Structure 1
Amino acid sequence: MTPRLTKRILTISLIVCLLGYAIWFSRNQADHLTAMSKLAEQRTAASEPAEPKQTIEEPTSKVYSKRIVEYHMNVKLEDSPIGKTLQGSQSVTWTNPGKNIVNELYFHLYPNAFASKQSTFIQESGGKLRGDVMKEGSYGSMEITDMQTEEGMSLMKRMQYVQPDDNNPNDRTLMKVRLSQPVKPGQSITLNMKFNVKMPGVFARMGVAGNFVMAGQWFPKLAVYEPAGMRGRTTEGWNIHQYHGNSEFYSDFGTYNVRIQVPEAYKVAASGFPTKSAAQQDGYKTYQYYAEDVHDFAWAASPDFIYAEQPFSAPNVPGVRIKLYLDPAHKDLQERYFHAAKVALARYSEWYGEYPYSTLSIVVPPKEGNGAGGMEYPTLITAFGAMDDNPGYDLERTVVHEIGHQYFYGMLASNEFEEAWLDEGFTSYAEDRVMETEYGIVANLPIESSYMTDPAPLSLFAWKYKDSNQYAENVYTRGKLVLIALEKQVGAKTMAKIMKTYTKKWAFRHPTTSDFQRVVEQVTKKDWTDFFNQYVYKGFMTDYAVESITAKKVDNNGTSAYESKVILRKKGGDYPQVPVVFMFKDGTSVKRTWDGASTTIQYTLTHKTPLDWVMIDPQDTMVLENKRINNYMKAQIDEAVKTRINFSTAKLIESILNALGW
């Protein structure tokens, strides 16, 4: 999700020349860019504030993605009678990656999710997200004020809001533009646009809280055109969805060159890296950022940020500048933020491949800006709002989790509309590994599996879940548990190979669940169709139960003994090795392993003393087992205990009947 006008032709021409070095039509402009950057530094040195100087960087020659899109943008943060607004312009170039002629483009206009109570986002979410509530009357919106071709032809009358998911005529988060000229395969089109954004009170990842501004999903963003074969498509076409209460985002990789104007007291954090020192003029400060091989661009601004920067390198992190933008309430916690970022980068790069970017920014919002917290953007993350001066390990966990998204959201860029678990479930799995390895915090998996009260397929579109609780339960927690269950079966070493193979093979390529399954099968040389069908494409959990115990006294070669028959039943998905323990009255235990394939199995055991109890999975190794209450059965219940149980049951029934009668 991306962060939250003027002299257009001259400005864009200059930017293209300066930064064209890293793009398709590079013509040796690197020296020009360096000279212009030095000139800008000389001109602004006298007016540079006390804010620590950021390192000025240049584009690299390494290209990771296909760079389907290219944005050159200008945005100005202004105060107006209706609140804080963004005045923006952009020149966006799109290259047709398919084999067919394209006659229209689609743009996501995410701020319109907050335009009224009738938008699809508000209707589905009820104006609530992750515990935050949209303030009454605090609306936001986006208006396209101009759209032209490079030749100067207006496309304003060719724009149309569309609602492919729910036909809600009041939803304006997706726009179609009919082009004046078709775009042939491999050819490009450039549109010049102007737009205004009214910022809502901070909620659902973007907005304003006092002086704090989070610009996420703040510009008209092109949808993804998928060629045949991409993500399993049989025919090429646009992947288009509205902004839903549960959904996040999906975009093409490209380059971003962005000029951000803010009041002179503000400091700016943004995706990518600065290519010039900030320049001041007429009460405003202008920042210039550049990002490449990313699919979004976000920025945050506040006059209150306490800025700190530390370099970091590791075997698979050639060199990264970690930039911290702290709310003053957490000014004494900066080393904890830096340490969490460093261990996360080191571990993730070791496990999943090299971190390819030169920067990573961490924004800590103020307490009242918590709605913008706990979110990921390319090379920029937000922690939760600075509510507590002693936040416990939630501080580290949030940073570790959001940095994990730099891989599964940032580099792999799976479709979060349609397969959110590939981002959230995988990131939650990776987060747990870092928290255990670096901080000794081990997830309580039996408790987490018991939370799975409403399992559903992981492959559902985000808005197809019943509500935000079912979405989070499955996409985050059950998704993670499915990966751990896979690891339990293949072993930690093989699972590490699976994850690294998947992330390195599919980086910058928008993988799907089936792509991940193929990697699992390639690495293990085994068919995993049943596992994926049950636990991914369907909402299965593991549920093995002790159904009955019967016993009788028998003669065993002239010796008195007891024959016990135990029936176990499979009520959920398959598990290949189900451990079972039988405990006898004399303390003797017998262990068995059931292959878990059949619906039921009967065990007959003969022993000198009666069977005392039976327990399935006593060590809690089956992480997808969510109904452990039926894993245990005692052969006999003491009469006094039985009486208490019967009495309690009777009282419970009596209470229910009384309540119904009332």
Structure 2
Amino acid sequence: MAPARTKIIVVIIVSLFLLSGTWWWTLLVNSPQLESAYAPNKGKPTNVATPPQKESVQQPTAQVLSKRLVEYHINVSLNPEEKLLKGTETLTWTHPGKNIVTELYFHLYPNAFSSKETTFMKESGGRLRGDTMPADGFGAMNLTDIKTVDGLSLMHRIQYVQPDDGNSKDYSLIRVRLPRPVKGGESITLNLNFEVKLPKIFARMGIADDFVMAGQWFPKISVYEPQGTRGRVTEGWNLHQYHGNSEFYADFGIYNVKIHVPKNYIVAATGFPTQTAKLKDNMKVYQFYADDVHDFAWSASPNFIVAEKPFSSPEVAGVRIKLYLDPAHEDMKERYFYAAEAALKYFSKWYGSYPYSTLSIVVPPEAGNGAGGMEYPTLVTAFGAKNDSPGYELERTVIHEIGHQYFYGMIANNEFEEAWLDEGFTSYVEDKLMEQEYGVIPNLAIQAAVISSPAPLNQEAWKYGSQEHYAQNAYYRGKLILKGIEQQVGTQTMGKIMKTYSIKYRFAHPTTLDFQKVVEQVTHTSWQSYFNQYVYGSQMTDFAINQITVQQKKSAQGPLYESVVTVDRQDGLYPNIPILFRFADGHSIHKVWKGNGDRIQFKLQYKSPLAWAMIDPEYTLVLENNHINNYMKVDNDHKIVSRLNISITKLLETWLGSLSW
């Protein structure tokens, strides 16, 4: 998800100054590279037989890319006047572990917006990325029935649970006790009925006028982790409530979803349509199918301007890019297409081919901005169409969210517990592509200066506290740590690291430790110290000029001055620290400290006295967040030294010249 940047920029400035068609469908169906979109989930042992579906989806045999532990068949209707979704869901879950399971857990995410007392609302304060929950905007999910395939109701076996904070007013997670256990390798099928009173758009979902964003909208089974998954010693459920900062975690599977909307509505959704939308009972019925994905989202509006374009590249066999534009951005479709094509082309080249047949981009209206800047499998949202002449934030948001198709979509880390593995990684690749395609160079020094309170990256998202603290670490600090590795190993080796990690853990649930192991395997070097300081720890780099002395020496050849400059390391280790020494006559000397040890002294003899010294004059140390002590000036009498916030001034000048966020 893309963070809100405007507020952060303002905070930075203030803080710094205080311091200082048909043919395509035929191709789609017959393309062997794209057949995976039709692949069935074969060979699963069953504990309870899956009921026959009234309308089966044609699914020729093809490559199975993931374990497909879940299968959803959902039928949902939208009533925009009542702001209501009514749905039925048939879920089949395959037990991936060995121990007997006697209960299932489901996320009821819309209940995060049911009152001011939920965990999400209390932690967020009813605000997310600059959007505020309207006073009358609450919504909720009501699970009206849950049965086994033989008709046994389990409603009396439901219990709301709050494993993270014990908040009895939070109803985002339920436990369902089963009438009989499920053994390892067996499957169970349940039938659920549910209703969702849509909130006014806030935090990725809801309704704004006649625009609907259905994200995390259906009862969704939690992840059961076998021993060894993400380092687990014993198998079990991974259980978390819906928190103010956290996003999601789910298993891969199959989704077959039928969506009923008013006849004038257009629907965008995960996956691809299996048939042309049909009118039934004065409603338009869409049907979508997706496999090897771990979520399903959809959006609907009568106002969408739809544009489509086929795309292929050496690494992408064929993708149908679909734009669902708010009318305010109708004239910008080529900007959206270009950004999407660039992202698909280069991310597939760098991190492995995009394996799906479609990519949909939804541009919400201004009133629906709370649903903007979000990623779902094969579907992303841009920010709301407020400005009729937006800057590069249009492209940056599209590229960021498509980057999430890799670092969230296929590389499905646990966003509850290690959010930097998707947000930090996606921010890193976003910068890389924005610089290449648009010449927008990220101002990493400014972004590092934002990080006033670094914290470990392998902690639960809600433990960062504020959204600002979460963004500083999961997004910016995470990205800078990756950039720090790149600086030390070089661009080519870093590319190999990222591609190795992306391919190795595609359709898996990797951890930070898995990434560390890849870094060490590719570089044949231990990175334990680096990860201990910056990833598992809360350090940044901080190098300071602490003292300068200048003495005039006797010399037969004329005036001679000896300048002694003391440089200290005050925080994390980092190699190759550049230092610039400028003398009164304008002469300069550049030196590099290897960064070993806590202190170094430089003794310089020259015919002119030293005027000033500065660490990292070009702002290349990406993890340096305290620039104020990088510079020291010598007074004219060579006895008194003073610190001038030249680094802050230069930072502002550089930022004003690039505006890279």
Scaled to the shorter chain, the TM-score interval is 0.7 to 0.9
The answer to whether the 8 Å contact 2:263/2:279 transfers is: yes
Distance 1:21 1:294, change over 3 A: closer
Provide the rounded CA distance (Å) in 1 between the counterparts of 2:520 and 2:427: 22
Task: Name the residue aligned to 1:22.
Answer: 40
- CA, structure 1 residues 643+574, in 2 after alignment: closer, same or farther (shift >3 Å)? closer
Residue 65 in structure 1 maps to residue 83 in structure 2: no
Cα distance between partner residues in 1 of 2:492 and 2:87:
50
**One-letter amino acid of the counterpart of residue 73, structure 2:** H
Cα deviation per residue 1:233-269 (whole Å; 9 max; x = unaligned)? 1111111100000000000000000010111111100
Cα shift at 1:227? 0.7
Could you tell me how far apart the structure 1 residues matched to 2:425 and 2:56 are?
43
Residue 422 of structure 1 deviates from its aligned partner by 0.4
Question: How do residues 176-255 of structure 1 correspond to structure 2 at under 5 angstroms?
Answer: 176-255=175-254
- Residues 643/169 of structure 1: CA separation in 2 closer, same or farther (3 Å cut): closer
Distance 2:390 2:487 in 1: 33
User: How far 1:571 moved relative to its partner?
Assistant: 1.0
Name the amino acid aligned to 1:345.
L
- Tell me the equivalent position of 2:405: 406
Q: Distance in 2 between matches of 1:21 and 1:348?
A: 24
Alpha carbons of structure 1 residues 60 and 374: separation in structure 2 relative to 1, 3 Å: farther
Instruction: Report the RMSD for the aligned CA atoms in angstroms.
Output: 2.1
Q: Is the 8 A contact 1:517 1:528 kept in 2?
A: yes
2:519 corresponding residue in structure 1: 520
Moved more, 593-602 or 410-419: 593-602
For the 8 Å contact 1:76–1:261, the answer to whether it is kept is yes
Give the match for residue 259 of structure 2.
260
**Within 5 Å, which residues of 2 pair with 1:68-87?**
68-79=69-80, 83-87=82-86
Cα drift, residue 586 of structure 1: 2.9
1:643 Cα shift? Answer: 12
Alignment of 1:84-233 (within 5 A): 84-233=83-232
- Give 1:606 shift: 2.1
Q: Distance in 2 between matches of 1:603 and 1:36?
A: 76
Residue 314 of structure 2 is aligned to residue 319 of structure 1: no
Q: Which AA in structure 2 matches 1:592?
A: K
Deviation for aligned residue 1:551: 1.8
- The answer to whether the Cα contact below 8 Å between 1:254 and 1:295 also exists between their aligned partners in 2 is yes
Change (3 A) 1:466 1:436: same
Matching residue of 2:373: 374
Displacement after TM superposition at 1:590 (Å):
2.4
Percent of aligned pairs sharing the same letter? 61
Look up the SS of the partner of 1:22 in the other structure.
coil
Contact 2:375 2:405 in 1 (8 A): yes
Q: For residue 622 of structure 2, give the secondary structure of its aligned residue in structure 1.
A: coil
The 5 A counterparts of 1:167-566 are 167-556=166-555, 560-566=559-565
Structure 2 unaligned blocks of 5 or more: 2-36, 45-51, 645-661
| CA–CA separation in structure 2 for the residues paired with 1:627 and 1:614 | 16
Query: Structure 1 residues 351, 642: closer, same or farther in 2, change over 3 A?
Result: closer
Distance change >3 Å, CA 103–CA 385, structure 1 → 2:
same
Aligned residue for 1:42? none
* TM-score, scaled to structure 1: 0.88
In structure 2, the residue corresponding to 1:160 is in which secondary structure?
Answer: strand
Residues in 2 aligned to 1:58 and 1:398: alpha-carbon distance in whole angstroms: 34
Greater mean deviation of Cα atoms: 451-460 or 292-301: 451-460
In structure 2, C-alpha distance between the alignment counterparts of 1:448 and 1:76, rounded to whole Å: 44
SS at match of 1:523: helix
Alpha-carbon spacing, 1:72–1:644, altered in 2? closer, same or farther (3 Å): closer
> 1:568 maps to which residue?
567
1:660 corresponds in structure 2 to none
Q: State whether residues 77 and 87 of structure 1, in contact with CA within 8 Å, keep that contact through their aligned partners in structure 2.
A: yes
Separation (CA, whole Å) in 2 of partners of 1:516 and 1:308: 38
1:400-451, Cα deviation, whole Å (9 max, x unpaired): 1110000001000111000000000100111111111111111111111111
Calculate the TM-score normalised by the size of structure 2.
0.88
Q: How far apart are residue 587 of structure 1 and its match? A: 2.9
> In structure 2, how many angstroms separate the alpha carbons of the residues matched to 1:138 and 1:637?
65
The one-letter code of the counterpart of 1:401 is H
Partner of 1:614: 613
- CA distance in 1 between counterparts of 2:416 and 2:154 reads 28
2:501 counterpart SS class: helix
Is the Cα–Cα contact under 8 Å of residues 84 and 199 in structure 1 kept in the other structure?
yes
Q: Equivalents in 1 of 2:370, 2:84: separation in Å? A: 18
- For residues 70 and 325 of structure 2, the distance between their equivalents in structure 1, rounded to whole angstroms, comes to 32
- C-alpha separation between the residues in 2 aligned to 1:638 and 1:433? 47
Alpha-carbon distance change, 142 to 581 in structure 1, aligned in 2, over 3 angstroms: same
- Between the aligned partners of 2:642 and 2:541, the Cα distance in structure 1 is 33
**Cα shift at 1:598:** 1.3
Secondary structure of the residue aligned to 1:388 is: coil
Structure of larger gyration radius? 1
Output the CA distance in 2 between the equivalents of 1:79 and 1:621. 53
SS of structure 1 residue aligned to 2:176: strand
Give the gaps of 5 or more residues in structure 1: 2-18, 27-31, 38-56, 646-662
Contact 2:114 2:139 in 1 (8 A): yes
Whole-angstrom distance in 1 between the partners of 2:178 and 2:423: 36
CA deviations 1:318-347 (Å, max 9, x no partner) are 100001111111111111111110011001
Deviation at 1:642?
9.5
- One-letter amino acid of the counterpart of residue 288, structure 1: Q
